[in-house]
C-alpha cells in the first residue's frame, strides 16, 4: 500500500499525475492470476497461427471478452501475403543411403492433442525451391562467420548451408547465405544453445528435446515490417500491391528449420576442416565446415495466396482529452500453441482490460482515450499491428501519447525498453509494483541486477550500474530494435513506444516457436502460478492509467539526452577503433603475417583487407548532443520548479507541446536504403535483425565501411536531435512564462 | 647459408661469439630426421615409466649412444619414493546396479603391442584409500570453481569430486578437493577440451578416444620437485628421509584419472543444479553439480617402496674454460610409450650429442665444458634432474653458464621460455634456423605470430607485438613456472635456464600421458617427417655451441628489465583492481544485491566477502625496477661500445662477473611457505601449478589477500633486483675501464 502511494507521489512530483490516488490498488484487485491461467489454457488449446481456424476463434473470443469488460470493441481485417507450406523435404543423399529429416515435432502427452494440424517445420517468406547440393556448416551464419569461412577457403556458392540458431536474428541467416551465393539454407537449434546442455529437455525439463525445432519468419524485417506487398501503406485497395518477386523483403532461396536430432546426421556427414572453437556445439561429434561429399536435397513449396489477419481493437473514450490516445497492445497469434509467446502477454492485456473496465463500471473515467489492441499476424512480420499503424497513420501521429507493447513473459526481472525519455515513467511504475519472488519493488530488484554491471556494452552497463546504485537517479531503459508490434508505431511513425515484459530466470528458449511452448511448459517452468503474467498486467496497467490521467507530460528527457551522449561517444570510438584496426591490419598484410602464421595443413587465406577510415567530422553530432543535454536539463529544472503550481491551462498547453516531440526524431526521409524506417535514433540493425542499432545511419555507415553514408547522416541525425531540443526549449519557455 | 652467417654476426655483435664460423652448418649436416625417427621408433616400443624394465633399457641404450658419439658418459642412480599401483577400482553404485569404470585404455593396432604391461589409470603420489560417497562435479576443480560451488550451496565435504582436466595443473585438483574436505577425487578428460570436439579421435585423427585418459603426477610440485622424501637434499644416505606421512607434497586422498567414456556415466548420474555455462563440457548430457544420489566407490592401493632412477650424464671437457659448464637435458621416461612426451625432445638431445661428437671428431674443441643429460623420473616429479641438481648443487652454482631444457616437441612455432636476460640469445639462435613449413627463419615466424597480439596478459601481448614488429628489437621470452627438468636448476639453484620446444599447430593434448602417445601418432599427426624434432636439435645445438664458445657474456639484461617493469606494473594494477573490487563488492553485499538478484528456485549464497585491500607501499619495488632499467641500459651501451675491441683478458673477467649474476635473483631464504623455491622473480603459482607467477611472493600475497606477506616481500624482492643491478654496474665499470 505504501509502495502504491509512493508511485503516485513520484509520478505527481516528477512525471505525471494520476487523478485518483488509490486507482492502482483497485486495478490490482481486479487482476486474478487464476483467471489468467484459465484464459491461457483456452487460448493454447489449438494451433493459432495466421489462417488457422483457431486464430479466428481467438480473435472472436477476444472481441467478446473486451465487450464483456465494457469496452467499445471491433475487429479490423487486412488481407495480406502469408505463405503456408504445401510440401517440404530435407534429405541427405550418400552413395549408400538416403536419410530423410523428420519435419514434424513429436507430440508428447503434456501438450494439447489438437483437432487441427499444427504447422510443420517452416519459416515464413522463405524462397521455395527444389535444390540438391553439398552442405556447408556456417556456425551462426552471421557476417563474421562468412569472413571466417573465407579465411578457411570455403565458399558457399552453389551449396546448401546449415546454420545454428542464435547470436543474430533468424532471418539474417538465409539472407546472408543467399547474399553469399548459397542455394538453400537449413537452420537448426544446437543443444549447446538451448537443448540438453542448458537443462533437462521437455517434458522432463524446460529445454529443447532432440525432435524440437524453431519456426519463425525470415521476412527481412530490417527493411520494413507488415505485409511485404504493401510496405508503407495499408494492405487494401487504395494502392497496387507489389508482387512476391518485387517485394524486397522476401527471400529467394528455400529455407527450413530442422531439429538437432536430424542436424546431427547432417553435420556428422561433413568433411573438411575442424571448425574454430567458438563454432563447436553440444552434439557429440567433431564439427567440420564441409562441404559434404554427400548431397542434401532441400525442397519447399508454399501456397502464396493472401490470408486475412484479424486485429481486435477496443476503446474507452477519454472524458477530458478524447483526442489524446494511450494505446496498449499484444498479439494473439502463435506459431503453434503459443503459451509463453504470445499468450503470456496477451492474458496480461486481457486482465488489464478487464480491470480497467471494472474501474469504469465503478464510476472512474480516463481523461484520455485508452485503446487496447490484440494484434494478429505478429509472428510472420508484425502484420496486424503494422497494417493498422499504416492504415491510421495520420490520426495516430496526431493523437498518440504512448504505445505500450508486450509479447512474451516469464519470471524474473522487468525488461523495459523503448523511447528513453520515458525512462523515469517506467521507473516510477516499476517502483510501485512488488516482485513476487523477493517482495521488494520491481524497480529495486532491477536496480540490484544492474548493479552487477552485466550487459552488452561495457560502458553502457557501467553507467546503468552507477544510476542503479543511486535511488534518486533515473535508470535509462534500453533502446529498441524490432521483434514485436511496437515497430510500426515507434520506428515507422515516430510515436513513442515502450516494450514491457518480465524475464531472465526461466528457460524457454528451447521451446520458443515449437509445439512445446504449451500451457504445461509455461505453468511448470516459465511462470508457475501466473504471478509474473499478473505482474505484467499490474505494471502495464499502472502505466496506462498514469498516461491516461496525467496532467503533466510523461517525458523526462535527461535520461534520453544521457543515452544519446553515450551513443555519440560510441560511434566516435567505433570509428577510431576501425581506423586503428585497419592501419594495424594493413601492416600485418603488407608483412605477410597471416601467411607466416598459417598452418599449412589447413587451407587458409588472409582476412579481407579493412577499408582505411577517413577523417570523419562528428562535430555536428557532438554539438547536437550537447545542445540536447542542456535543453533537457533546463526543461526538467523548469518543470520541477513550476510543475506542481502550474495552472490547468498551462498544463494542457505543455502537454500539447510535448505530445508529438518524439516524432521529431523520425523525419520523413528515413534511413539510407530502408526509408520505411524513419527513426534516426533507434532501428533494428541490418546485420543484427531484431537487435537495436542506435544512431543507426551513422553507426552502420561506419560498421559497413560506407563513409559517404556516415558523413551524410551525421548532420541529418544531428538535425533531428536539434529539432527535439528546440521543441524542449519551447516547452521550457512555456514553463518559464510568468 | 646467409642466415647462418647472420646469426654468427648477430651473436658476435650483440651477445656472444662463436669461435669458428661455419660450425652451425656442420652441426646441421649431422642431424638426420630419418635417424631420429628410427631412434624414436625404438624408444617408444615398450612402456618406459620409472621402474619399468624398458626404462632401464633406455638409460643403458642412451649411455651407449653417448659413448658411441664420443662422449665421456656414465649413469648416476638415485633411489627415490615412487609409488606404483597394486589395485584400484571406481564404481557407481545405485539401487539398481553397479557400474564399473574401465581403468585401462583399449589397445589399438596403431600402437605397439608391448611385452610389458603398461600402467593402468593412475596418478603418482595420490593418497591411497577406499572410500564410498556421493559424487560432486567441480568443473576444472580450481579455486574459482569452489567459490562458485559455495555460491550454489554445494559443499564437497565427505564427498568424492569429479573434475575435468584443464585450466590448471592436474595436481591442484585433488589438492584443492582435499583442502575443501573431499575424501576422493576423479579427474577425467572432457571431449570438449581434448576429445571429439577438437578433432577426429585416435587412431582416425589426433584427438582423445572415449577410452583414453591422462596419467600424471599429483605430487605438489608447487612446494618442491624431486623425491618427496628428500626435499632440498639428494636422495642418499647423507640425511634421513622424510616419511610418506610427513612429506608435505604427497596427497592424502585417493585420486584416479578416468576416461570420458566412463565419466559420462558418472556425470549423467548427478542431480542438483545445472552447472553454469562455462562448466559445460562436450558430452551429450545435462551437466549438473550433484551431489549424486548414487554413491561412488573409489579404492586405490599402491606399492610405496623406493625405486631407482637412472640419469645418463655425458661430458666433453672444455678446452679453455673447463670449469664453465653448458648443460643441456631432456628426460627419457614416459608414462607409457611417450613419443611426443618425452622422446620427441629426447631424440633432439641425442641428435645434438651425435652432431657435437662429430664436430669433436673432426677436430673442433668447445672452449667450455658441455654436459648432455638424459633424465629419468621427470614424469612423477622431475626426480632425476632435481636429485642430480641437489647432489651437485655447489659445483653447479659455481660453474653453470646456462641450462637448456627441452621435453615435448611438435610442429609449429618456437616456444622458448626462461631467464629473460637470455632473450636476445634465444632470438639470435631463432633467427639462424629455418622453419620447415614457411621457409622463413624461426624468429621471423615467431615475430609474425606475436604481431597477431594473442596472449594471456593483454599488455604483455601488446608489448611483445610491438617488439616483434621491429626487427631490431629483442622480443622478451616468456617466464617459466614449472613442469619440466629446468626447475631444479632455475628455481632451486638460481641458475639461468631456458626451456625450448616447438608447438602450437599439432593436436596432441588428447593423447598426452596416454597409451596413444605413440610413434604412429607422433609421425602422423605431431611431426610428420620429424622435421620439427630435427629443428629443435638445430636450435638447441646452436645455443650450446654459442654458449660453449662465446667470449662475451650471453645475457642482454634490457629485455629482463623491461619484463620486470611490466611485472611491477601488473602487481600494482592487481592490488588496485582488488581494492576496487572489494569496495564495490562491499556495497553490493551491504545492499543485499546478491540476494535480490538470486533465482529462488536455485539455492544460492552471496559470494565470499573480499578482504579490504590496505595501502601497500610499492616504492621499493618501483625503485629497484627503475634502477634495474638504468643499469641494464648502461651495461648494454657499454658492451656495444667496448665489445668487439675488448681484450681477451677483459672478456674473461667480464664473463666471470656475469657468470653467476642470475643467482642474485634467488637468495637463500626462498619463497614464503615453500623455501625450496628460491627464485624471487619466477615460480610456479600455488594456484596455477605449472603456470608461472612472476614476482611470486608479492603477487600471490595480493592474490591470496595476505597483505603481511606482500608487504614483507616487496623489499625482499626489491633487494634481489638491486643485487642484480649492482652486479651489472660492476660489469659496466669493468667495460668502461680504460
**What single string gives the DSSP state of each residue in B463-526?**
HHHHHHHSTTSPPPPBP--SSSTTHIIIIII---EEEE-EEESS--TTTTTSTT--HHHIIIII
Output the CA–CA distances (angstroms, integers) from residue B680 to A510, A704, B143, B226, in the order listed.
53, 51, 24, 20
Residue entry with cell 632470438: B427
3 state SS of B299: strand
Condensed to tens digits (0 to 9), the pLDDT of residues B497-515 reads: 999 999 999 999 999 999 9
Concatenate the DSSP letters of all residues of A88-122 into one string: EEEEEE-SS-EEE---SPPP-TTS---SSPPP-S-
> B285 to chain A nearest CA, in Å?
6
3 state SS of B432: coil
Domain containing residue A394: 3-80+307-432+482-550
Q: What is the pLDDT of residue A441?
A: 97
Q: Which residues of A touch B197 (CB under 8 A)?
A: 280, 286-287
Q: Is A592 on the interface with B (CB under 8 A)?
A: yes
Q: What is the pLDDT of residue B20?
A: 62
Which among A282, A301, A320 is the end of a domain?
A: A301
* Widest Cα–Cα separation across chain A: 89
Report yes or no on B452 lying in a domain.
Answer: no
Residue entry with cell 659455481: B398
Structure confidence at residue B22 as a pLDDT band (50, 70, 90): confident
Q: Is B445 on the interface with A (CB under 8 A)?
A: yes
Report yes or no on A183 lying in a domain.
Answer: yes
Q: What is the pLDDT of residue B7?
A: 40
User: What is the domain count for chain B?
Assistant: 3
Question: CB A449 to CB B597 under 8 A?
Answer: yes
Report yes or no on A677 lying in a domain.
Answer: yes
Question: CB A597 to CB B197 under 8 A?
Answer: no
Report yes or no on B563 lying in a domain.
Answer: yes
Question: CB B286 to CB A595 under 8 A?
Answer: no
- The mean per-residue pLDDT over the stretch A386-394 comes to 98
A279 compared with A8, residue with greater pLDDT: A279
Q: Which residues of A touch B596 (CB under 8 A)?
A: 438, 440, 444-445, 448-449
Q: What is the pLDDT of residue A20?
A: 62
Structure confidence at residue A711 as a pLDDT band (50, 70, 90): very high
Residue entry with cell 599402491: B302
How many C-beta atoms lie closer than 10 Å to residue B647's C-beta? Answer: 9
Report yes or no on A438 lying in a domain.
Answer: no
Q: Which residues of A touch B601 (CB under 8 A)?
A: 505
Q: Is A437 on the interface with B (CB under 8 A)?
A: yes
> A284 to chain B nearest CA, in Å?
6
Judge whether B186 and B161 are in contact, CB under 8 Å: yes
Q: Which residues of A touch B282 (CB under 8 A)?
A: 280, 282, 284
3 state SS of A332: coil
Task: Tell whether B587 and B687 lie within a shared domain.
Answer: yes
Q: Is A595 on the interface with B (CB under 8 A)?
A: yes
3 state SS of A614: coil
Cα B671 to Cα B481: distance, rounded to the nearest angstrom: 14
Cα A613 to Cα A611: distance, rounded to the nearest angstrom: 6
- The mean per-residue pLDDT over the stretch B630-653 comes to 93
Which among B252, B286, B301 is the end of a domain?
A: B301
Cα A420 to Cα A169: distance, rounded to the nearest angstrom: 24
How many C-beta atoms lie closer than 10 Å to residue A278's C-beta? Answer: 10
Q: Which residues of A touch B437 (CB under 8 A)?
A: 599-600
3 state SS of B300: strand
- The mean per-residue pLDDT over the stretch B542-557 comes to 96
Rg of chain B on CA atoms, in Å:
26
Cα B120 to Cα B215: distance, rounded to the nearest angstrom: 8
Cell output for B228: 618427496
Question: CB A596 to CB B445 under 8 A?
Answer: yes
Q: Which residues of B touch A449 (CB under 8 A)?
A: 596-597
Give me the residues of B, 637-666, that contact A with CB < 8 A: none
Minimal Cβ distance to A200: which of B286, B444, B451: B286
Cα B119 to Cα B239: distance, rounded to the nearest angstrom: 32
Does the pLDDT at position B21 exceed 80? no
Cell output for A495: 510515436
Structure confidence at residue A5 as a pLDDT band (50, 70, 90): very low
Query: Which residues, in sequence order, are bridge partners of residue A412?
Result: A504
Task: Tell whether B135 and B226 lie within a shared domain.
Answer: yes
Report the residue of chain B nearest A197, measured CA to CA: B286
Condensed to tens digits (0 to 9), the pLDDT of residues A428-457 reads: 999 999 999 999 999 999 999 999 998 778
Q: Is B181 on the interface with A (CB under 8 A)?
A: no
Task: Tell whether B187 and B297 lie within a shared domain.
Answer: yes
Structure confidence at residue B456 as a pLDDT band (50, 70, 90): confident
How many C-beta atoms lie closer than 10 Å to residue B353's C-beta? Answer: 28
Cα A386 to Cα A217: distance, rounded to the nearest angstrom: 15
Query: Which residues, in sequence order, are bridge partners of residue B306?
Result: B81
- Residue A703 burial (CB < 10 Å; 0-12/13-18/19+)? buried
> B170 to chain A nearest CA, in Å?
23
* Omega within 30 of 0 (cis) for the link into B616: no
Cell output for B668: 637463500
- The mean per-residue pLDDT over the stretch B541-562 comes to 96
Does the pLDDT at position A77 exceed 70? yes
Cell output for B643: 665489445
Cα B63 to Cα B374: distance, rounded to the nearest angstrom: 9
Task: Tell whether B188 and B223 lie within a shared domain.
Answer: yes
Q: What is the pLDDT of residue B13?
A: 42
Minimal Cβ distance to B448: which of A205, A285, A597: A597
B690-694 own/partner pairs: CB under 8 Å, 24+ apart? B690/B169, B690/B221, B690/B481, B690/B482, B690/B483, B691/B168, B691/B169, B691/B481, B692/B478, B692/B479, B692/B480, B692/B481, B693/B481, B694/B479, B694/B563, B694/B567, B694/B570
Condensed to tens digits (0 to 9), the pLDDT of residues A520-577 reads: 999 999 999 999 999 999 999 999 999 999 999 999 999 999 999 999 999 999 999 9
Across A355-364, A703-712, B341-350, B640-649, least confident range: B640-649
Minimal Cβ distance to B593: which of A452, A505, A595: A452
Cα B119 to Cα B233: distance, rounded to the nearest angstrom: 29
Judge whether A31 and A538 are in contact, CB under 8 Å: yes
Question: CB B197 to CB A595 under 8 A?
Answer: no
Report the residue of chain B nearest A287, measured CA to CA: B197
Task: Tell whether A594 and A662 lie within a shared domain.
Answer: yes
Cα B490 to Cα B493: distance, rounded to the nearest angstrom: 6
Cell output for A529: 502460478
Task: Tell whether A259 and A377 lie within a shared domain.
Answer: no
For residue B383, what is the enclosing H or E element? helix B383-391
Does the pLDDT at position B246 exceed 80? yes
Concatenate the DSSP letters of all residues of B570-613 into one string: HHHHHHHHHHHHHHHHHHHHHTTHHHHHS-TTS---PPPPPPPP
Does the pLDDT at position A362 exceed 60? yes
Condensed to tens digits (0 to 9), the pLDDT of residues B400-433 reads: 999 999 999 999 999 999 999 999 999 999 999 9
Report yes or no on A447 lying in a domain.
Answer: no
Task: Tell whether A61 and A144 lie within a shared domain.
Answer: no
Cα A412 to Cα A726: distance, rounded to the nearest angstrom: 39
Q: Is B595 on the interface with A (CB under 8 A)?
A: yes
Condensed to tens digits (0 to 9), the pLDDT of residues B654-688 reads: 999 999 999 999 999 999 999 999 999 999 999 98
Which among A519, A550, A581 is the end of a domain?
A: A550
Would the pTM count as exceeding 0.80?
A: yes
Report yes or no on A460 lying in a domain.
Answer: no
Q: What is the pLDDT of residue B633?
A: 98
Chain B interface, mutation test: which of A192, A452, A532, A593, most B Cβ atoms within 10 Å? A593
Question: CB B448 to CB A593 under 8 A?
Answer: yes
- The mean per-residue pLDDT over the stretch B570-592 comes to 97
Judge whether B291 and B135 are in contact, CB under 8 Å: yes
Judge whether B373 and B344 are in contact, CB under 8 Å: no
Task: Tell whether B93 and B195 lie within a shared domain.
Answer: yes
Note the ipTM here: 0.94
- The mean per-residue pLDDT over the stretch B516-522 comes to 98
Task: Tell whether B284 and B327 lie within a shared domain.
Answer: no
Output the CA–CA distances (angstroms, integers) from residue B157 to A287, B9, B91, B145, in the order listed.
39, 63, 20, 15
Task: Tell whether A314 and A265 lie within a shared domain.
Answer: no
Concatenate the DSSP letters of all residues of A514-546 into one string: STT--HHHIIIII-GGGHHHHHHHHHHHHHHHH
Cα B99 to Cα B200: distance, rounded to the nearest angstrom: 27
Q: What is the pLDDT of residue A306?
A: 97
> A287 to chain B nearest CA, in Å?
7
Q: Which of A456, A429, A383 is nearest to A540 (CA)?
A: A429
- The mean per-residue pLDDT over the stretch A96-120 comes to 95
Chain B interface, mutation test: which of A597, A599, A604, A606, most B Cβ atoms within 10 Å? A597
Q: What is the pLDDT of residue A643?
A: 75
Q: Is B199 on the interface with A (CB under 8 A)?
A: yes
Q: What is the pLDDT of residue B18?
A: 46
Judge whether A182 and A160 are in contact, CB under 8 Å: yes
Cell output for B204: 582416425
Judge whether B259 and B188 are in contact, CB under 8 Å: yes
Q: Is A450 on the interface with B (CB under 8 A)?
A: no
- The mean per-residue pLDDT over the stretch B378-382 comes to 98
Query: Which residues, in sequence order, are bridge partners of residue A504?
Result: A412
Chain A interface, mutation test: which of B198, B286, B445, most A Cβ atoms within 10 Å? B286
* CATH number for A156: 3.50.30.30
Report the residue of chain A nearest B260, measured CA to CA: A284
Q: Which of B522, B724, B534, B532 is nearest to B41 (CA)?
A: B522
Does the pLDDT at position B95 exceed 90? no
Q: Is A593 on the interface with B (CB under 8 A)?
A: yes
Judge whether A286 and A70 are in contact, CB under 8 Å: no
Does the pLDDT at position B519 exceed 60? yes
Number of H helices, E strands in chain B: 24, 20
Chain B interface, mutation test: which of A277, A289, A596, most B Cβ atoms within 10 Å? A596
DSSP H helices in B120-164: 143-151
Does the pLDDT at position A19 exceed 70? no
Task: Tell whether A185 and A331 lie within a shared domain.
Answer: no
* CATH number for A588: 1.20.930.40
Q: Which residues of A touch B471 (CB under 8 A)?
A: none
> A199 to chain B nearest CA, in Å?
6
* CATH number for A20: 3.40.630.10
Minimal Cβ distance to B449: which of A438, A469, A597: A597
Minimal Cβ distance to B284: which of A196, A505, A601: A196
Cα A172 to Cα A164: distance, rounded to the nearest angstrom: 12
Phi–psi pair at A498, nearest 5 degrees = -125, 145
* Omega within 30 of 0 (cis) for the link into B367: no
Cα A498 to Cα A490: distance, rounded to the nearest angstrom: 9
Residue entry with cell 518477386: A245
Task: Tell whether B231 and B376 lie within a shared domain.
Answer: no
How many C-beta atoms lie closer than 10 Å to residue A570's C-beta? Answer: 16
Output the CA–CA distances (angstroms, integers) from residue A225 to A264, A687, B419, B447, in the order listed.
34, 16, 64, 51
Cα A104 to Cα A417: distance, rounded to the nearest angstrom: 35
Cα A90 to Cα A93: distance, rounded to the nearest angstrom: 10
Report yes or no on B474 lying in a domain.
Answer: no
- The mean per-residue pLDDT over the stretch A50-56 comes to 98
Average pLDDT, chain A: 95
Amino acid at each position: 500500500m505504501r509502495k502504491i502511494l509512493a508511485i503516485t507521489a513520484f509520478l505527481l512530483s516528477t512525471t505525471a499525475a494520476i487523478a485518483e490516488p488509490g486507482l492502482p490498488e483497485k486495478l490490482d484487485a481486479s487482476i486474478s492470476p487464476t483467471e489468467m491461467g484459465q484464459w491461457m489454457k483456452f487460448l493454447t488449446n489449438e494451433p493459432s497461427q495466421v489462417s488457422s481456424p483457431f486464430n479466428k476463434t481467438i480473435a472472436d473470443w477476444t472481441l467478446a471478452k473486451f465487450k464483456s469488460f465494457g469496452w467499445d470493441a471491433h475487429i479490423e481485417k487486412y488481407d495480406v501475403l502469408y505463405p503456408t507450406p504445401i510440401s517440404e523435404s530435407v534429405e541427405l543423399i550418400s552413395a549408400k543411403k538416403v536419410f530423410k529429416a523428420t519435419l514434424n515435432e513429436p507430440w508428447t502427452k503434456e501438450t494439447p492433442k489438437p483437432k487441427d494440424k499444427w504447422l510443420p517445420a517452416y519459416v515464413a517468406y522463405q524462397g521455395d525451391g527444389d535444390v540438391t547440393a553439398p552442405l556447408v556448416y556456417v556456425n551462426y551464419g552471421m557476417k563474421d562467420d562468412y569472413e571466417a569461412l573465407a579465411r578457411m577457403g570455403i565458399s558457399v556458392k552453389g551449396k546448401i548451408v546449415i546454420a545454428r540458431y542464435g547470436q543474430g536474428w533468424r532471418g539474417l541467416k538465409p539472407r546472408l547465405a543467399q547474399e553469399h551465393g548459397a542455394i538453400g539454407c537449413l537452420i537448426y537449434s544446437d543443444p549447446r544453445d538451448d537443448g540438453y546442455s542448458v537443462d533437462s529437455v521437455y517434458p522432463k525439463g524446460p529445454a529443447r528435446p532432440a525432435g524440437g525445432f524453431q519456426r519463425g519468419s525470415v521476412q527481412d524485417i530490417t527493411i520494413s515490417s507488415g505485409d511485404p506487398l504493401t510496405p508503407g501503406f495499408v494492405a487494401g485497395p487504395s494502392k497496387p500491391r507489389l508482387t512476391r518477386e518485387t517485394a524486397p523483403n522476401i527471400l529467394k532461396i528455400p529455407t527450413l528449420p530442422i531439429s538437432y536430432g536430424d542436424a546431427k546426421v547432417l553435420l556428422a556427414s561433413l568433411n573438411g576442416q575442424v571448425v574454430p572453437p567458438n563454432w563447436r556445439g553440444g552434439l557429440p561429434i567433431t564439427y567440420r565446415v564441409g562441404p559434404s561429399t554427400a548431397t542434401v536435397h532441400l525442397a519447399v513449396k508454399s501456397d502464396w495466396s493472401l490470408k486475412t489477419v484479424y486485429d481486435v481493437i477496443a476503446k474507452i473514450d477519454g472524458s477530458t482529452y478524447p483526442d489524446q490516445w494511450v494505446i496498449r497492445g499484444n498479439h494473439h497469434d502463435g506459431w503453434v500453441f503459443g503459451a509463453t509467446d504470445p499468450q503470456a502477454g496477451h492474458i496480461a492485456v486481457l486482465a488489464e482490460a478487464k480491470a480497467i473496465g471494472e474501474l469504469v463500471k465503478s464510476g472512474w473515467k480516463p481523461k484520455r482515450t485508452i485503446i487496447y489492441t490484440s494484434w494478429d499476424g505478429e509472428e510472420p512480420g508484425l502484420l496486424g499491428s503494422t497494417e493498422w499503424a499504416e492504415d491510421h497513420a495520420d490520426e495516430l501521429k496526431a493523437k498518440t501519447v504512448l504505445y505500450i507493447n508486450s509479447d512474451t513473459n516469464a519470471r524474473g526481472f522487468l525488461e523495459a525498453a523503448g523511447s528513453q525519455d520515458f525512462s523515469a515513467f517506467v521507473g516510477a511504475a516499476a517502483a510501485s509494483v512488488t516482485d513476487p519472488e523477493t517482495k521488494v519493488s520491481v524497480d529495486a530488484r532491477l536496480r540490484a541486477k544492474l548493479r552487477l554491471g552485466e550487459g552488452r556494452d561495457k560502458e553502457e552497463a557501467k553507467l546503468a550500474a552507477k544510476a542503479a546504485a543511486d535511488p534518486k537517479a533515473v535508470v535509462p531503459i534500453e533502446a529498441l530494435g524490432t521483434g514485436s508490434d511496437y515497430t510500426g508505431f515507434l520506428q515507422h511513425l515516430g510515436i513513442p513506444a515502450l516494450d514491457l515484459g518480465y524475464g531472465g530466470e526461466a528457460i524457454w528458449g528451447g521451446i520458443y516457436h515449437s509445439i512445446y511452448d504449451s500451457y504445461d511448459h509455461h505453468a511448470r517452468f516459465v511462470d508457475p502460478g501466473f504471478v509474473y503474467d499478473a505482474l505484467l498486467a499490474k505494471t502495464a496497467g499502472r502505466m496506462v492509467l498514469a498516461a491516461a490521467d496525467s496532467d503533466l507530460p510523461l517525458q523526462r528527457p535527461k535520461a534520453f539526452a544521457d543515452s544519446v551522449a553515450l551513443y555519440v561517444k560510441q560511434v566516435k570510438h567505433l570509428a577510431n577503433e576501425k581506423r586503428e584496426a585497419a592501419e594495424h591490419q594493413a601492416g600485418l598484410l603488407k608483412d605477410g603475417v597471416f601467411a607466416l602464421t598459417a598452418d599449412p595443413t589447413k587451407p587458409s587465406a588472409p582476412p579481407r583487407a579493412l577499408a582505411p577510415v577517413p577523417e570523419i567530422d562528428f562535430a555536428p553530432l557532438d554539438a547536437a548532443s550537447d545542445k540536447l543535454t542542456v535543453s533537457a536539463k533546463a526543461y526538467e529544472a523548469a518543470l520541477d520548479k513550476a510543475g506542481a503550481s502550474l495552472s490547468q491551462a498551462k498544463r494542457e498547453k505543455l502537454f500539447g507541446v510535448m505530445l508529438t516531440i518524439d516524432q521529431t526524431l523520425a523525419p520523413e526521409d528515413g534511413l539510407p536504403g530502408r526509408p520505411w524506417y524513419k527513426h534516426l535514433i533507434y532501428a533494428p540493425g541490418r546485420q543484427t535483425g531484431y537487435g537495436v542499432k542506435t544512431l543507426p545511419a551513422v553507426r552502420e555507415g561506419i560498421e559497413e565501411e560506407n563513409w559517404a553514408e556516415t558523413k551524410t547522416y551525421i548532420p541529418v541525425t544531428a538535425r533531428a536531435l536539434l529539432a527535439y531540443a528546440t521543441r524542449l526549449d519551447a516547452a521550457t519557455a512555456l514553463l518559464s512564462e510568468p
